[in-house]
Amino acid sequence: MGSLTLASGAAATFPQTRWSVVVTAKRRSAAGRSNALETLYRAYWYPLYAYARRCGQAPHDAQDLTQGFFCRLIEKEWLDGADRDKGRLRTFLVVAMRNFMRNEWRRASAGRRGGGQINLSIDGDLAESRYAAEPPARLTADDEFDRQWALAVLELTLRRLQEESAAAGKAGDFEALKECLMAARGGIDYAGVAARLGMQEGAARVAVHRLRKRFRAIYREEIAQTLNDGADVDDELRHLAAALARG
């Protein structure tokens, strides 16, 4: 298996993370497997790192745990247990991480020191500076994981929306409007938005409405793609909203 290294500049990005990625990673051919593993790692390393830290692990140990976990996903064929028909990708990963922390970590660490085949690196300073900015440790490890998962999906949604705007030649509009996406409806300064975009306030209201509508559609789509077929997307939306509110 090839070596995968996550550079610090890529650590805060969240590429597309669908069940199809897991299916690709489960294939035994080397082609596509490394890319699929890297995609999962880039998307979910921080929620799992924060989970380990909230479980009481020291920064260095949390880094080792996160790296070792993703190595084991492939080496031990744990992805064979991931089935879209059986549940949420979110649940699969956190349960697998919990079991790894309980049963596998010491052996995995020993094997890695002996020259493991996969190298997944974490920028420790970046990880800890991000963790230090989190709310006080009043959340359980499971609640913190769910909160970070929700933030990951939000980041992915914003990135897709930004890319769509750029492709449509409206990158400047996105930059002017993005602060409106999370604002309460009554808290949007439409006059200020109109001034930044050089348009009438009525047109600014329409632009904000369209962007917020598209944001909600992408967010819902990204959540649906991590669930089993036929799952209640609204239930997952409520769960992640509650996770964010607890933070």
What are the pLDDT digits (tens) for 160-212? Answer: 999 999 999 999 999 999 999 988 878 999 999 999 999 999 999 999 999 99
Contact between 238 and 223 (Cβ < 8 Å): no
- C-alpha separations of 7 from 12, 32, 96, 204 in Å: 10, 20, 25, 39
Nearest to 146, CA basis, from 59, 42, 47: 47
The 10s digit of each residue's pLDDT in 94-119 is 998 998 998 866 665 555 544 444 45
Q: How many CA atoms lie within 13 A of 190 on its CB side?
A: 13
Question: 82-86, 123-127, 193-197: lowest mean pLDDT where?
Answer: 82-86
The 10s digit of each residue's pLDDT in 26-42 is 665 666 677 777 777 88
